[in-house]
Chain A
Amino acid sequence: MNINIDDKNEFLSKIKTLKAGDRVYLSGTLLTARDAVHKELKNLIDNNEKLPYNFVNSIIYYAGPTDTPPEKIVGSIGPTTSQRMDSYAEYMKKLGVLAVIGKGERSDECKKIYLRDGITYFIATGGCGALLSKCVTSCEVVAFSHLGCESVKKLTVDNFPVTVCYDNEQGDIFNG
């Protein structure tokens, strides 16, 4: 199934019909964020400070690409291990995030929060940064530029392949 992720209504209505293990192809905008950005966002939210970027209705991709060579759009850009972002699960709804993309199992606590808050968890295939880079049609640093490879990048993707991990009927790709 193909999903236009820039259309929130299309995204939400299609997501409802999917089962754990289904492969879908995302087209539209993703925002990269991993360990360091999550830590900074948590501190800003906890201290009621202004966020440097609006994450409402966004899909976060846990990724820190290799450097972009000249004439290229982006470097190698596969998913990083999601588990390290488990402790920030409560903050996804506060940010207005719709879904996250990473790799590997989440903690039971994180899964519970995601299901409660309606956050979708997708995985992309780990170690496939070359393949996934071919789906990226634009890349721009939009926040936390001082974090280098960990900065927030706004990506436009075309048919980006991901797999649904949890569904509303207790489906769990890792514990099926």
Chain B
Amino acid sequence: MCYTVVMKILTELQIENAVYEIAKKMCFEVDEKTLKKISDAYEKEDNRATKDALSDIIVNAKIAKNEHIPLCQDTGIVIAFCEIGGQIVIDGSFEKAINSGIKRAYSTEYLRKSVVKSPLDRVNTNDNTPCIIHTTITDGDKLKITLCPKGAGSENMGRVKMLTPASGEDGIIDFVVETVRLAGGKACPPLIVGVGIGGDLEECALLSKRALLRDIDDCSKDTHAKRLEDILYEKINALNIGAMGLKGKTTCLAVKVETFPCHIASLPVAVSLMCHANRHATCEL
């Protein structure tokens, strides 16, 4: 037997450069679709203090973009979601490439170094690395990297719960709504709410994170998941938390539900919250 497989070679430097290019922009701009939803929330808000906060958020986005000042002082720990085509050969270290790109961007753009070497002794690494890297192997010869600089305000409010099948859809809804209620103004609402259902303990958490990366205007292609997104959107916005917890009509801008098969005895659910800046950026090689 004789095989001909076409491979594509990517060097460590090529990957580092691609990461650097998107990383140096991701903390300075809110994407247009997110900004539109925030402007809509401002228009329909009656509460004075909440309207002030939404106005601040809109003005902040303009200043950040025009004057190249980070939107938020918390420029996050970087999560890198990577899809590596099976036909790609990496000349060098993939992890090193990602971390070097981040290190460079956080240095040249004067972003905050928010990573400690150990959660126990808590000494800063001073370069905002290491990143948290998730990789999946896909078909083809493309490398796709999505970076998400995740701030702790919203991240600290995420939760996972191992429900059981008896809890059903009502149990899922109660848990998600409770999570947003407990987060209150601390996670910087209006939020994007990522929900992962199924898999196991770590898979549902990952699903909830990946959910946050979806286009803010899309909805699930799965009809059951889409129905759940609609129900959760209504219930969360009925909580009257509002922008920054100041009460109001808009607590979330979108709800994204992702599911995965699971064990007959399990119903894991995870909720990841994304603040109103909705920062993430993608590159492809």
Residues of chain A whose beta carbon lies under 8 Å from any beta carbon of chain B: 21, 23, 36, 63-69, 75-78, 80-81, 83, 103-105, 123, 125-131, 133-134, 148-149, 161, 163, 173-174, 176
Contacts and interface: CB of A to CB of B under 8 A. Distances in A.
A56 B48 CA distance: 33
Contacts of A69: 110
B112 A65 contact: yes
Interface residues of B, number: 40
Contacts of A104: 153, 184-186, 244-245
B155 to A, nearest CB: 11
Interface stretch (B56-64, B91-99, B207-215): B56-64
Given A134-B63, A176-B247, A105 B69 contact: no
Given A125-B244, A173-B49, A130 B275 contact: no
6 contacts: A63-B73, A128-B59, A129-B71, A130-B60, A174-B245, A176-B247
B74 interface: yes
A25 to B, nearest CB: 12
A149 B73 CA distance: 10
A68 B129 CA distance: 19
A126 B70 contact: no
A100 to B, nearest CB: 15
B73 A103 contact: no
B151 to A, nearest CB: 8
B126 interface: yes
Contact of B59 (A66, A105, A129, A131): A131
Nearest to B111: A66
A81 B153 contact: yes
B152 interface: yes
Interface of B: 48-49, 52-53, 56-57, 59-60, 63-64, 67, 69-75, 110-114, 122, 124, 126, 152-153, 156, 184-186, 188, 244-247, 275-277
A67 B124 CA distance: 14
Given A103-B185, A105-B185, A173-B246, A129 B49 contact: no
A64 B186 CA distance: 16
A143 to B, nearest CB: 17
Nearest to B114: A149
A127 B276 contact: yes
A83 B186 contact: yes
A25 B245 CA distance: 20
A51 B277 CA distance: 37
Nearest to A124: B56
Contacts of A83: 186
Nearest to A104: B186
A76 B156 CA distance: 21
Contacts of A163: 49, 52-53, 246
A67 B48 contact: no
B71 A67 contact: no
B244 to A, nearest CB: 6
A23 B244 CA distance: 14
Given A103-B153, A125-B244, A130 B69 contact: yes
Contacts of A127: 57, 60, 71-72, 153, 188, 275-277
A123 to B, nearest CB: 7
A66 B73 contact: yes
Nearest to B108: A69
B63 A130 contact: yes
Contacts of B114: 149
Interface-central residue, A36, A131, A161, by most chain B CB under 10 Å: A131
A32 to B, nearest CB: 10
Contacts of A126: 72, 153, 185, 188, 244, 275
Q: Ordered nearest first, which 7 A-B pairs have the shortest CB separation?
A: A104-B186, A76-B70, A125-B56, A130-B64, A130-B69, A67-B110, A131-B60
Nearest to B153: A81
B22 to A, nearest CB: 18
A105 to B, nearest CB: 5
Contact of A23 (B49, B74, B110, B186): B49
